[in-house]
Amino acid sequence: MSDAIVVQARGVTRWFGAEQVLKGVDLDVPRGSVTALLGRNAAGKSTLLSILAGALGRNGGEATVFGRDVEALRPSDRERIAIVGSTSAFPGRRVRDELTLVRRLRAGRWNAEREAELLARFKLPLDKRIQQLSKGQQARVRLLLALSCEPELLLLDEPAMGLDLFARRDFLESVIELVASEERTVVIASHLIDDVERVADRVVFMRDGLAEIHGSVDELRERFRRLRLRLPSPERALPEDALPAELLGVERVLPAEGSEQVVILNDHSPGLVTAIEERTGGSQVAAARMTLRDIYFEVLREAGEEVRA
């Protein structure tokens, strides 16, 4: 494994009782990247992050952070990782006490300057209990704690859940600043495309316990296309369900619109278009690029679900 890969997973599996939540997840997170882990609720995102943070065991596969098995991380490795969730672990604690505690636990890497700077910017009431704060303020406390630890790897698990749009924007700005400083690596798990489309340079889609579709934002936008075909007659349309095996790279076939048909490709290539044209006797009208948002809806929709945002 190269130094450029900070987090690596190979075939990671995890069961909860009789339910298999992770069915063999592969993941590579390059140093300095912001990787978005996108999936719907219960897709296994949190489970994967907890495993990577060493907080939860796995049933099979390999998972390493900084080149070490996540279950064999030394305390000095753990100090380089911070995980931020959507709730506070000790809501009854006063902000001041929480700060003191984490400062002591993370003494080795604690950045007092950053702590002071963020305290001033976030205007946190130190004497209040965390549960007395607004959700936005609570999120700021969690973020302040994580950022002051100067983590090399920051794992964010639905960090903006429950925040209003202003607090989200604020949160996003903090993440942007965090990435601006040095070679920091961020993984953000979210079910919301809005949280990540601005900051992610890599995207991993999780569905059915797998992470099969992943790549840089540019790669994905290159690969995903809405191919519009003109058919010689409506009868030549591709079937919507049973796709021939040689048409690998087709994400979904839409119902024909008269003598035209739209086919969503997830791995566009001239060869694939030719194969579809030969199959149908039709010809390409356009192969339009898709926005990350449209790709999100295509990949994460369930059968029969309306996808236009």
Partner 1 sequence: MTLTVGLSDPLDFDSDVPVHEQIAQRVKFAIGRGAFAPGAQLPSVRGLARDLLVNPNTVVRVYRRLEAEGLIYTRRGKGVFVQDAAADRCQGDGEALVRRALRDAVELAGRAGIRGKELERLWKAAKEEA
The answer to the question of residue 291 lying near partner 1 (CB under 8 A) is yes
Task: Show contacts with partner 1 in window 230-289 (CB under 8 A).
Answer: 288-289
Among 72, 89, 107, 180, binds partner 1 (CB under 8 A): 180
Segment interacting with partner 1 (CB under 8 A) among 32-40, 105-113, 230-238, 256-264:
32-40
Pick the closer one to partner 1 by CB: 101 or 176.
176
Of 66-74, 136-144, 198-206, 207-215, the segment contacting partner 1 by CB under 8 A is: 198-206
Stretch that binds partner 1, among 95-103, 148-156, 168-176, 248-256 (CB under 8 A): 168-176
User: Which residues between 129 and 148 bind partner 1 (CB under 8 A)?
Assistant: none
Q: Does 4 bind partner 1 (CB under 8 A)?
A: no
The full 3-state SS of the chain, as one line of letters, equals CCCCEEEEEEEEEEEECCEEEEEEEEEEEECCCEEEEECCCCCCHHHHHHHHCCCCCCCEEEEEECCEEHHHCCHHHHCCEEEECCCCCCCCCEHHHHHHHHHHHCCCCCCHHHHHHHHHHHCCCCCCEHHHCCHHHHHHHHHHHHHHCCCCEEEEECCCCCCCHHHHHHHHHHHHHHHHCCCCEEEEEECCHHHHCCCCCEEEEEECCEEEEEEEHHHHHHHCEEEEEECCCHHHCCCCCCCCCCCCCEEEECCCECCEEEEEECCCCHHHHHHHHHHHCCEEEEEEECCHHHHHHHHHCCCCCCCCC
Nearest distance in Å: CB 68, partner 1: 26
The nearest distance, CB 177 to partner 1, in angstroms, is: 7
Closer to partner 1 by Cβ: residue 64 or 171 = 171
Interface with partner 1 by CB under 8 A: which residues?
A: 32-34, 169, 172-173, 176-177, 179-180, 197-201, 217-218, 221, 288-289, 291-293
